[in-house]
Amino acid sequence: MSNVARPERASTRLSARTIVTYAIGSLGTGGYATLPGLVLTYFLTDNLGVAALVAGLIVTAAKVWDVVIDPLIGAASDRQLARTGSRRGLMVLGALTLPVFFALTFAVPPSWGPAAGAVCVLLAFLGTATSFSLFQVPYVALPAELTDGYDERTRLLGWRVVVLTAAILLFGAGGPMLRRATGDPVTGYLLMGVVAGVAIGIGMLIASRTAREGVAAPADTARTSLREQYLDGFRTLRRSAPFRALLGTFLLQALATGTMLAGAQYVARWVLGDEAAVEILFVALVAPALIATPVWTAVAARTGKERAFLFASILFLLSSATITIALWSPGAWIYASVAGAGIAYAGLQSLPMAMLPDVISHDERTSGPGRAGTFTGIWTAGETVGFALGATAVALMLAVTGYVSSVAGTGAAQPDSAVAGIVLSFSILPAALMALSLVPLSRYRLRRSDIDAPASPVS
């Protein structure tokens, strides 16, 4: 076989401007991941009167759509890179269209009825998911092209998670506050959707400037059919054992954190007895990450990313499992357990995202360059499905345990079984999923020496 040269990319220390501009993109990522996961199921069940099981299916359907389009967008992003030398075009398109669809998702009034409301929310959220994927798939591909340094990638993604953490705090606490600002749930949800959608779009638009111009890419990428590049994304799963291990771990962990995210609003109202407590839960979960993220970066530099990732996973498992005690003794102590999970969450976000560019580089050395977009298309699909299935798992738990849905302005008492289901979906369920994720993580074999080894042509 002929030699295939690796694309040139920066190997020096990244500038502060590049790191800040890239990190601001997590304002969009944090907003999109937080608000729908936090309030969309609740919006459907307790504002539009949609049955819990149907609400879970709506969120899942939108994310199944991601499984279809994310690999296609990844392939299209690689083609755009080969043709224009930049991934920026798709990112800008996503940033400009997401605010419209995001606002429409929360603009449906209860007067339309549960059936019509459910359909309208589904269509609007499908549009939101598409816009987000147009940005997110090329965005996640950028670190592999910005630098090939093992520790420099950890630094880049560490600061991204700091902004992500701040965004989760902002949207997780600020979103529900906006929802209550008007005193009317209908106009409150609309205000929340408009303001949050615009903020998300601005963050995405700023981060799109990080996409390099003139990045080298194999010329034959532009000539390869979209179908072949789409299928190539799935071939990477067969070809790359490190990618299979990392993706399997991240998907299960996204599912675990997704269950806690979707269950937080229900815990606040029915376990802690105060709907406004959701903001305190979010602060307890996310605020520790502002301090913990640099610590995880330092731990990774000392022990390796894979070991630091294992430590964070175990800490999250133990912290979430302790919340099971709320079945017998609910109280403010839950915030301490959530804070422990929050410290771990910082590592669960920054470390696998810093490991993904290593996996892409490793594949370049063995199979040739030009596939970063196909990797991140599959990755983003796995991430979004994990978070969506977290909401679905909570909805199924609520349905099985007898949760009673209601429309805006009305109240409904919940049976003890439903309250128990809420606690379990916030504790044992994420702990069990986190324990299961340790199996694929144990199969991740890449180490620092595999990444920092001198580059050589692929034969």
Per-residue confidence (pLDDT) for residue 243, from 0 to 100: 87
Lowest average pLDDT, out of 75-84, 119-128, 248-257, goes to 75-84
**pLDDT over threshold 80, residue 150:** no
Q: pLDDT category, 103, cuts 50, 70, 90?
A: very high
**Under 8 Å between Cβ of 313 and 438:** yes
Identify the residue with better confidence: 182 or 387: 182
**pLDDT over threshold 80, residue 457:** no
What is the arithmetic mean of pLDDT over 210-231?
A: 58
Most confident of 182-186, 198-202, 222-226: 198-202
Per-residue confidence (pLDDT) for residue 3, from 0 to 100: 42
**pLDDT over threshold 80, residue 134:** yes
What is the arithmetic mean of pLDDT over 7-16?
A: 60
**pLDDT over threshold 50, residue 38:** yes
Identify the residue with better confidence: 40 or 340: 340
Q: How many CA atoms lie within 13 A of 118 on its CB side?
A: 20
Per-residue confidence (pLDDT) for residue 166, from 0 to 100: 81
**pLDDT over threshold 70, residue 221:** no
Residue 48 phi/psi, 5-degree rounding, is -105, -5
What is the arithmetic mean of pLDDT over 359-384?
A: 72
Identify the residue with better confidence: 103 or 151: 103
Per-residue confidence (pLDDT) for residue 1, from 0 to 100: 38
Lowest average pLDDT, out of 143-152, 298-307, 325-334, goes to 143-152
pLDDT digits (tens, 9 = 90+) for 193-217: 999 999 999 999 998 888 765 455 5
Per-residue confidence (pLDDT) for residue 225, from 0 to 100: 58
CA Rg value for the chain: 21
What is the arithmetic mean of pLDDT over 172-178?
A: 78
Lowest average pLDDT, out of 62-66, 77-81, 214-218, 403-407, goes to 214-218
Most confident of 7-11, 86-90, 258-262: 86-90
Identify the residue with better confidence: 262 or 426: 426
**pLDDT over threshold 90, residue 319:** yes
Residue 458 phi/psi, 5-degree rounding, is -90, 130
**pLDDT over threshold 80, residue 390:** no
**Residue 272 is encoded by which pair of tokens?**
């802690």
**pLDDT over threshold 80, residue 401:** yes
Identify the residue with better confidence: 340 or 453: 340
Per-residue confidence (pLDDT) for residue 99, from 0 to 100: 95
Identify the residue with better confidence: 451 or 312: 312
| DSSP per residue, 246-315 | HHHHHHHHHHHHHHHHHHHHHIIIIISS-TTHHHHHHHHHHHHHHHHHHHHHHHHHHH-HHHHHHHHHHH
Torsion 111-116-121-123 (CA) sign:
negative
- CATH superfamily, domain 16-217+233-451, is MFS general substrate transporter like domains (1.20.1250.20)
**Under 8 Å between Cβ of 271 and 425:** no
Residue 332 phi/psi, 5-degree rounding, is -65, -15
What is the arithmetic mean of pLDDT over 38-44?
A: 80
Instruction: For residues 210 and 10, give the distance between their C-alpha atoms in angstroms, rounded to a whole number.
Output: 13
Torsion 95-99-105-106 (CA) sign:
positive
**pLDDT over threshold 90, residue 269:** no
Q: How confident is the prediction for the chain on average, in pLDDT?
A: 80
What is the arithmetic mean of pLDDT over 112-136?
A: 90
Per-residue confidence (pLDDT) for residue 7, from 0 to 100: 41
Identify the residue with better confidence: 450 or 30: 30
Instruction: For residues 28 and 167, give the distance between their C-alpha atoms in angstroms, rounded to a whole number.
Output: 8
